[in-house]
Structures are given as structure tokens and as C-alpha cells.
Amino acid sequence: MATRTDRIAIDYTLTFETPFHFGTGLSAGLIDRTIVRDHDGFLYVPGSTFKGVLREQCEILERLYEAFDPDMLALTDSPHNNRIALSGLGRSVTMITRIFGSHHHPGHLFFDDAYLTDDEKEQFTDPNPDRAKEKPDGYRQLQVDLYTQVRLDRPTRTAVPGALYTSEFGVRSMDFEGKISGWLECTPIEENQDGPTYSLLLLLAGLHMIERMGGNKSTGKGKCTCEIKKLSVNDRIYSKEQWQSWLDSLSALSFYSEYGAKQEEEA
């Protein structure tokens, strides 16, 4: 069975249950670690960060289902290992590479930045239009809390001199809307011709696995949930019940290298 190319559009919502931090790498006044904002001063989730976290979750799943195929399992790490990447030239393309791309096989899915919902923006906008024009950042400051921390020397369990710093964190319970769109080429799952390809199934499962994002995760920050609001494949919109039923057959991913990749080589 040959591959097929699907036009994919996924709308999702990210909800943060704890404070979160996506840093700019810059300081501002007494704040050492500032958080990213868009041109209107609202917080957002960088698409590159979201893509990296999602890739990590998908890699975990692929390692699980490709555990009995050492060749495909090694190629999962190819973007992070130049030697393995070179050894994979001319060989079967992994599900991860089809979604996210690699050095030698560019991906065609685009991960947009996730922005605050309209309801969230309204909470951080001054209801007085005149005052909002004079001080546009007035209500925007309510989006963040400041946390002052000190870096500890682990062997002595004491504070490191001069290592006191202040960070901005987005407040909890904020909702962001994002989108994944583009083209995804992969092999259809043989048992379900009207269903997903192997890579699309892996992508949907990875979205469900996202649970933390951003800095300071080890201290409990960045806990979140990702909810798929809309799925469109080749302009056909699938209901939540339809695509959720696909997740019941995740075990089919273990047959990708056996039935998918080999059939592609023969095509």
C-alpha cells in the first residue's frame, strides 16, 4: 500500500493549571527572567516550544511501539544524533520524521504560536477605553506573578552567593488557542481505510500526553492539559467521537515498520 498525503488542520486549547514560564532570555529592571509577550502585551505560547514538547511525547510513544524493531527504534533519535542520521539515509522514514521532519526529510506541518482566547484577553483589558489608551499595560500586568528564587549549591545545600533572581510567571488557569496545519504523508492503517495514517494517529496520541511545558517544570510549574477542539483531514471535519475512537487502536503503531515502511519500499 502506497503512502498518501493528507491536508491536516488541528485546533487545540492549552489550559495551564499551575504558573508557567516561557522566557525571553532578557531582563527588565529588577526582573531577571521576563516572559514572552505578543505585540499587544498579551502572553503567548511559542509554537517552537509546543512543537518540541509534542515531539518528545511522540518519541516516547514511538519507542514504546517500535520496541521490537531495533532499526526503527534507533532512527527515532536521528535528529539528535548525527551519526545515526547519516546511517538512516535511504532507509525507511519514521513516523516522527514524517510529522516533525529531520535533517534530510523536511516536515510539512506548521505549528503556530498559541494565543490567549478572546475571553482571557478581555479579563486583562481595561474596560475604560480612554484609560486603556493611556495605560495599555495597566491590566496586562495581572497576567503575571513575580517569584524570587535563589540557586542552591546541592553538595552544601546552601544558597549560592549572588544567585538571587526574580522571574515572571503566567498566572494559572489561562487558556491559549493554537493550530497545527499543513500536509502529512504517511501510510494508511490497513485495518481502517477511512481512518488515520500511522503518523496522524501518533500525533493525536502525543497531543493527549502533553502535561507540562515551559521552564521550572521540576518545581511543579507549567502543568497543563491539551484539548483538541477540531480535527480536519482533507477538508473533512471529524467529530470528537470519531477521532477518539481511533485512539483505541494505538497498538496498530507497532505494525508501522512491518506493514507500512516495507510496503513503501516496494511501491
Q: How far apart are CA 48 and CA 60, in angstroms?
A: 19
Q: How far apart are CA 36 and CA 175, in angstroms?
A: 15
Residue 160 domain-assigned (yes or no): no
Number of domains forming the structure of the chain? 1
End-to-end CA distance of the chain: 7
Residue 189 in contact with residue 249, Cβ under 8 Å? Answer: yes
Query: Taking the model in full, what pTM does it have?
Result: 0.85
Residue 98 domain-assigned (yes or no): yes
Residue 210 has what pLDDT?
96
**Which parts of the chain sit beneath pLDDT 50?**
260-261, 264, 267
Residue 13 domain-assigned (yes or no): yes
Residue 158 domain-assigned (yes or no): no
Alpha helix (H) ranges present in the chain?
A: 47-65, 70-75, 82-87, 95-100, 118-123, 129-134, 198-209, 240-246, 262-266
pLDDT in tens, 118-146: 999 998 888 887 776 777 677 889 999 99
- Residue with cell string 493611556: 134
> What range does the domain containing 124 cover?
4-145+172-266
Residue 126 has what pLDDT?
80
